[in-house]
Structure 1
Amino acid sequence: MKFDIYGRFQLDIHREGGAWAAYRPVAGKRVPASDLAIPPEVSADELAEYLDDIYHELAGPGDRISRIG
């Protein structure tokens, strides 16, 4: 699943071995988002809300986190 984080950057998040793995697409590569840890109990439906809780300080008025893939 891909998420747009307030129009500032994107994250590609996948389930790997019962845990969430997050990557930032950079120049055609996937770089691990080592600054982000997503608890395994967060469901796929809750990811956008969880990401908003983590990154809310980057948001401006009307900015949203949206799933793009």
Structure 2
Amino acid sequence: MAEYRFNVFGKLVLIRGSAGAWEAFYPGPDGKRRPADFIVPGDIAEADLLEYLADLFHEHATPRNHSVTQLP
């Protein structure tokens, strides 16, 4: 199962799964994860995850945290 990490306007988000079955989590500093308070629709392609997160959370952008980036 694939996992993708994103910095979404300063907040860490983990997306796990594949198209048709995405799960979203907020990773904690202790290594645990809690379910995110949003869903990723199943029809979102892997290549479109970053754009989807940017569109969903654009209101959270600040001058310091103004982008969404995929983390290694």
- Give the TM-score normalised by structure 2: 0.82
Q: Identity over aligned residues, as a percent?
A: 36
Q: Which runs of 5+ in 2 are unaligned?
A: none
Q: Distance in 1 between matches of 2:56 and 2:26?
A: 15
CA RMSD of aligned residues (A): 1.8
Contact 2:20 2:44 in 1 (8 A): no
Q: Which runs of 5+ in 1 are unaligned?
A: none
Change (3 A) 1:52 1:18: same
Pairing partner for 1:4 from 2, 7, 31: 7
Which stretches of structure 1, 4 residues or longer, exceed 3 Å deviation after superposition? none
How many residues get paired?
Answer: 67
Shift of 1:6: 1.2
Shift of 1:16: 6.0
- Give the TM-score normalised by structure 1: 0.85
